[in-house]
Chain A
Amino acid sequence: MLKLELRSQASDFWRIASPLLALLITVTLGIGLFILLGKDPLRGLQMFFWEPVKSAYALGELMVKATPLLVIALGLAVCYRSNVWNIGAEGQFVMGAVVAGGVALLADQETSRWIVVAIVLAGMLGGMFWAGITAWLKDQFHANEILVSLMLVYVADMVLGYLVYGPWKDPAGYNFPQTKTFEAVTQIPRLMSGSRVSVGLILALLGVAAVWIFLFRTRAGFAQQVGGLAPAASRYAGFSSRKALWVALLVSGGAAGVAGALEVAGPLGQLTPYVPSGYGFAAIIVAYVGRLHPVGMLFSAVLMSMFYIGGELAQSRMGLPKSITGVFQGLLLFSLLACDTLVAYRLHWQSRRV
């Protein structure tokens, strides 16, 4: 029978090959799915892997989709590497959007362009505040951060709903639940005309560098990860696991909040009940598939965006159902988790012992 044997040393080969193998498995299963549905599998693959990158416009849209995913995933990576399981990035995203939207509403046509900075900062603070609730409850009450952060996602949706149906509703909007469209000055600047890509992309790329430096080149980053993974050892070394908890949650909350601000002052341009778009949950997959490594997550964010956009195109051009995106994303994560075993363990046949 097949047995798993712990390797003496984690395999470098599989560390890189595992995500590729997982992608291969997902693509193979995907082809099978297309065939089952009676669709041309090659055309299906084209929708997912070629169409989203084939033109400047398409690449731009890909970046628009990938930016929030990457930003949130960067924060989650810091969190998960510290063994803090923040599942509520979606809620922190929404609260970031809410606070950023609140600042944007204060603007009128005369306001200086610098309000954009204020908006992004406000988003960061909003997300940090929301994650801080989870941190506080874990710190003071030992409440499980998975459940608390998740429940807070639903509460965040309700807060948004309350505001757009109530105090922040556009008085000229026929009583529809939405704020007024933000003034043009609040728009996150675009990188180039003809595309919706914003400077958020630059922020994300800077974030990749910053997180890489923090995690791998600073003592604080080192302490952060040890503090989470081995509290006793870290206490010995003088690192604080309590500090690690707060830093982890505040960083991931802040990142999610910034992503929320970028969305709301970017492509959306107002607050509506539809701000929660599942990015907070998708970013979890992005973080994982990218192996919690900043550069890896850059690639996985692009990959996930290709799945999203490909799924949309497959729907409008091939009549495939929309839920196929979710199936692929779930399959990718499953396969990755399975393939990852090969990093730490080796498979081999063992004849039955007497």
Chain B
Amino acid sequence: MTVLNKRSVLKIAAISLVAAAALVACGKKEEAKPAAVAKAEPLKVAFAYVGPVGDGGWTFAHDNARKALEKEYGDKIVTSFVEKVPESADAERVFRDLASQGNKVIFGTTFGYMDPMLKVAADNKEIKFEHATGYKTADNLRTYDSRTYEGAYMAGVIAGKMTKTNTLGVVASIPIPEVIRNINTFTMGAQSVNPKVKTKVVWINEWFNPPKETEAATALINGGADVLMQNTDSSAVLQTAEKMGKRAFGWDSDMTAYGPKAHLGSAVINWAPYYIKAVGEALGGNWTTGQSWWGVKEGAIDMVSVAADVPEDTKKRIEEIKTGLKDGSFSIWKGPIVGQDGKEVLAKDVVADDKFLGGIKFYVKGVEGKVPN
């Protein structure tokens, strides 16, 4: 073995470093700037997703809407996305990078991006930020959300009719008001056609964890539930129901294919109408801040692919609800509504406003168990 002294080692190290640097510098050539065209530069729109686009649920729905945006505006816009951006300190860096890449509209599709987006928005006043499911706004940052409880209500109506054991089950994610509201609304929908139903809830404390969702669904079915709903992001609950011969609903996206025998309907979110409006405003220069909460009325929520064996009168009822929500004649959260302890939380004929809905921390009568903390 030749004895290599320190000097040759350093020589070798230096040569490799130089070689590497040369290699990298070669690749550093900027993409050739497109020749100046008479057409205006397309608007760059970017999306940050918390999950993988293939989750079949939450992120999948957002990505579908992004594709709809591309179809709607053609070459007036250019979209891009970053998936699996964690809700942590990393998020700020991703948003800053998106901002520095020339994007003029940036969508953040989960609650946890709130503070990072606010910080980046403060430093990039010409960029418009859209934050899903948040509650803090700024001059160039507004929030948007969907009335998922409307989908939950319609699912409840179907569930109430189809259950044979009068026990429903919900695989729930994280105990925030939205999810608690959905559990309540699901139960209320079921009670409207079947006052005897009870709802059991299992919390998995995550948005997306198929093995855990499977175990939770199994526990609910073992506990007597024969119709399941979920507030989690994968198709595991539906697939478990399919395996065990029970019924369930799709959530966020149409999940019929994942459990054809078990599937009763999918409560879907369609983000396209809002995205098209938002980008349209950015293109047209009339974008203003605010908070949007869209539902069936605006085309953001729907109950689709209702199963063939659901009775006709129930299907008709679903259509009636949709019409009623669209023209404002029907309100889901209209009193009298009673909490678990029997006390009224909403008096007769009083319609809950968005503030009330946003702060729901109680269970309605018929839901079993206690709200976690």
Q: Which chain A residues have a beta carbon within 8 Å of chain B's beta carbons?
A: 7, 11-13, 16-17, 20, 24, 27, 40-43, 45-46, 49-50, 61, 64, 161, 165-166, 169, 174-177, 181, 196, 263, 266-270, 272-275, 277, 309, 312-313, 315-317, 322, 346
In the complex, are the beta carbons of B24 and A272 less than 8 A apart? no
In the complex, are the beta carbons of B101 and A316 less than 8 A apart? yes
Choose one: A11, A161, A268; the contact of B89 (CB below 8 Å): A268
In the complex, are the beta carbons of B87 and A165 less than 8 A apart? no
In the complex, are the beta carbons of B90 and A277 less than 8 A apart? yes
In the complex, are the beta carbons of A181 and B177 less than 8 A apart? no
In the complex, are the beta carbons of A316 and B90 less than 8 A apart? no
If A277-B90, A322-B83 touch, does A42 touch B23 (CB 8 Å cutoff)? yes
Q: Which chain B residues have a beta carbon within 8 Å of chain A's beta carbons?
A: 1, 4, 9, 12-13, 16, 20, 23-28, 46, 80, 82-84, 86-90, 92-94, 97-98, 101, 111-112, 115, 135, 174-177, 180, 205, 358-359, 361, 372-373
In the complex, are the beta carbons of A43 and B27 less than 8 A apart? yes
Instruction: Closest B residue to A346 by CB, please name it.
Output: B1
Most chain B beta carbons < 10 A, residue from A177, A270, A272: A177
In the complex, what residues of B have CB within 8 A of residue A269's CB? Answer: 115
Determine the main DSSP class of A at the interface with B. Answer: helix
Inter-chain pairs besides A177-B176, A266-B89, A315-B82, 14 sampled, C-beta below 8 Å = A13-B9, A20-B13, A42-B27, A45-B23, A45-B24, A46-B28, A50-B27, A174-B135, A174-B358, A263-B89, A267-B92, A274-B112, A312-B90, A317-B101
In the complex, are the beta carbons of B115 and A46 less than 8 A apart? no
In the complex, are the beta carbons of B1 and A11 less than 8 A apart? yes
A270→B358 CA distance, assembly (Å): 23
In the complex, are the beta carbons of A322 and B20 less than 8 A apart? no
Instruction: Closest A residue to B84 by CB, please name it.
Output: A322
In the complex, are the beta carbons of A20 and B16 less than 8 A apart? yes
A-B interface, 9 closest residue pairs, ranked by CB to CB distance from nearest: A42-B27, A267-B89, A316-B82, A274-B88, A13-B4, A166-B373, A46-B27, A322-B84, A274-B87
In the complex, are the beta carbons of B9 and A17 less than 8 A apart? yes
In the complex, what residues of B have CB within 8 A of residue A11's CB? Answer: 1
In the complex, are the beta carbons of A313 and B97 less than 8 A apart? yes
In the complex, are the beta carbons of B16 and A24 less than 8 A apart? yes
Instruction: Closest A residue to B48 by CB, please name it.
Output: A316
Choose one: A20, A43, A176, A181; the contact of B111 (CB below 8 Å): A176
In the complex, what residues of B have CB within 8 A of residue A181's CB? Answer: 115
Q: How far is the CB of B211 from chain A (nearest CB, A)?
A: 15
If A165-B205, A165-B373 touch, does A176 touch B176 (CB 8 Å cutoff)? yes
A47→B180 CA distance, assembly (Å): 43
Choose one: A177, A263, A273, A312; the contact of B93 (CB below 8 Å): A312
In the complex, are the beta carbons of A316 and B23 less than 8 A apart? no
In the complex, are the beta carbons of B176 and A175 less than 8 A apart? yes
A196→B80 CA distance, assembly (Å): 26
If A49-B24, A174-B135, A174-B359 touch, does A316 touch B12 (CB 8 Å cutoff)? no
A174→B88 CA distance, assembly (Å): 19
In the complex, are the beta carbons of B90 and A17 less than 8 A apart? no
Q: How far is the CB of B304 from chain A (nearest CB, A)?
A: 29
Q: How far is the CB of B115 from chain A (nearest CB, A)?
A: 7
A-B contact pairs, 13 of them (CB 8 A): A12-B9, A13-B9, A20-B12, A20-B13, A40-B27, A42-B23, A45-B23, A45-B24, A46-B27, A50-B28, A196-B92, A312-B94, A315-B82
